[in-house]
Amino acid sequence: MLRRRFWKVWLALVALAGSLGGAGCQSAKNLRAERECCKPPDFNCCTIPNVQVPKELNKVSLPPYVVETPDVLQIDAIRVIPLPPYRLEPLDILYLSAENDFQGAPLAGLYPVDPDGTVNLGARYGGTVRVVDLTTEEAQKVIQDKVRTQRNTANVTVSLAQSRGVQQISGQHIVRPDGTLSLGGYGSVYVAGLSLAQVKQAIEAHLSKYLYKPEVSVDVFSYNSKFYYVITDFAGNGEQVVRLPHTGNETVLDAVSLIGGLSAVSSKKLWVARPAPVECGNDQILPVDWCGITRKGQVKTNYQILPGDRVYILSQPLTKFDTYMARTLSPVQRALGVTLLGASVHNQFRNNGNNGNVGIVAPIIP
């Protein structure tokens, strides 16, 4: 009875090994399909064409920068004049000057509107006076009435020195995921896909709804939207993708140096895959002569990296073959190992049964 059960178990294990071997054949088919689909370009150093693209010694300047998410823009307000009639708000700054005021405490200079809507004139002129929601003419009358309670011959002139709108506009502004940037109380404006000159025009056109002939300066504070990629093939154990920010000056040698050089399983076969519009129909592949770049100082294939480029580093074929062979044979080895273990246990019980003794298999302690 025990022998019959053993043979059933043994046959099941053999069937399992056969199915896993079939999976290994499937892996081999996948490997052949991958080789046919992802065939690397020709790496004969003598046949790599001298393609007329930017390289180490003839780099080109990139076209006007296009703003995208999540770039950070530096915006400075040059002219921010509110549309009349403007009513004062907290954090505005008034310029005050007076005639016939106290000689020891002249009323002149910049006076901010506090968050509570008041302006502090000092104890000599009666302290604070509320000016929020008033025009500059109305604020001048209120301030003059306050000053004349202390000095009845004083004549006060009030003008708007700086609007709080400057504080809302000036500074760093991130381009949000919807392609807009915030201008505080002046709302949002869409800037994604525009050059810096177009962003300036769009912001000024938007602010003209609230300000008189606004003028701003726009520059990029942080370049966060332009990248290129270095992809390393790890010989059948996956592919590592490193995304690097594009500054406009990198070459193939710079890209490889930024990831610490070639890995232990990498070959010296690499190329630059450059994105192209779908309607072009052909892949833009630029083979790289690694030995020529590093050992001979050649610039023929040390291409200038452009935004969106993929630098692909191929693995060593023998190492990749070894990985696939180990992955294919490992399930078969495990199945055969279990089969041999079961046969050994069965023989042990059978021998003990023939001797009329009950044996115990002692574990092997290393």
The DSSP-derived string for 279-345 is GG-S-EEEEEEHHHHHTS---SS-BBP-TT-EEEEEEPHHHHHHHHHHHHHHHHHHHHHHHHHHHHH
- Longest CA span, the chain: 131
The owner of tokens 């022998």 is: 3
Q: Over 50: is that where the pLDDT of 159 sits?
A: yes
Alpha helices in the chain (DSSP H): 2-37, 136-148, 164-169, 196-207, 252-258, 290-294, 317-355
Helix/strand/coil (H, E, C) string of 250-288?
Answer: CEHHHHHHHCCCCCCCEEEEEEEEECCCHHHCCCEEEEE
Spatial contact of 94 and 160, defined as CB atoms under 8 Å apart = yes
Report how far residue 102's alpha carbon sits from residue 150's, in angstroms, rounded to the nearest whole number: 9
Spatial contact of 157 and 97, defined as CB atoms under 8 Å apart = yes
Spatial contact of 97 and 107, defined as CB atoms under 8 Å apart = yes
Spatial contact of 134 and 109, defined as CB atoms under 8 Å apart = no
Could you tell me the pTM of the whole model? 0.67
Q: CB within 8 A of 48, min separation 6: which ones?
A: 42, 287, 289, 300, 301
Spatial contact of 309 and 274, defined as CB atoms under 8 Å apart = yes
Query: Which of 103, 65, 326 has its CA nearest to residue 193?
Result: 65
Q: pLDDT confidence of 188, banded at 50, 70, 90?
A: very high
Q: pLDDT confidence of 279, banded at 50, 70, 90?
A: low
Q: Over 60: is that where the pLDDT of 10 sits?
A: no
Q: Measuring CA to CA, how many Å separate 312 from each of 1, 210, 225, 266, 272?
A: 61, 52, 21, 10, 6
Spatial contact of 213 and 82, defined as CB atoms under 8 Å apart = no
Q: pLDDT confidence of 86, banded at 50, 70, 90?
A: confident
Q: What is the helix (H) or strand (E) element at residue 229, kind and residue range? A: strand 227-233
Q: pLDDT confidence of 34, banded at 50, 70, 90?
A: low
Query: How many secondary structure helices (H) and strands (E) does the chain include?
Result: 7, 15
The owner of tokens 């200079």 is: 109
From its phi and psi, is residue 159 left (phi > 0), alpha (psi between -120 and 50) or beta?
beta
Q: If you average pLDDT over residues 106-117, what whole number do you get?
A: 90
Cis peptide upstream of residue 70 (ω within 30 degrees of 0): yes
Pairing label, strands 72-79, 171-174: antiparallel
Q: Over 50: is that where the pLDDT of 92 sits?
A: yes
Q: If you average pLDDT over residues 242-248, what whole number do you get?
A: 92
Q: pLDDT confidence of 89, banded at 50, 70, 90?
A: confident
Q: 16-30, 70-84, 87-101, 340-354 — which is least confidently predicted?
A: 16-30
Q: Over 90: is that where the pLDDT of 204 sits?
A: yes
Pairing label, strands 118-120, 215-222: unpaired
Instruction: List b or e across 203-216, with b for residues whose CB sees 16 or more CB atoms inside 10 angstroms.
Output: bbebbeebbeebeb
Report how far residue 63's alpha carbon sits from residue 14's, in angstroms, rounded to the nearest whole number: 65
Q: pLDDT confidence of 2, banded at 50, 70, 90?
A: very low
Q: pLDDT confidence of 200, banded at 50, 70, 90?
A: very high
Q: pLDDT confidence of 302, banded at 50, 70, 90?
A: very high
Instruction: List b or e across 145-165, with b for residues whose CB sees 16 or more CB atoms inside 10 angstroms.
Output: ebbeebbeebebebebebbbb
Q: pLDDT confidence of 277, banded at 50, 70, 90?
A: confident
First-last CA distance in the chain = 35
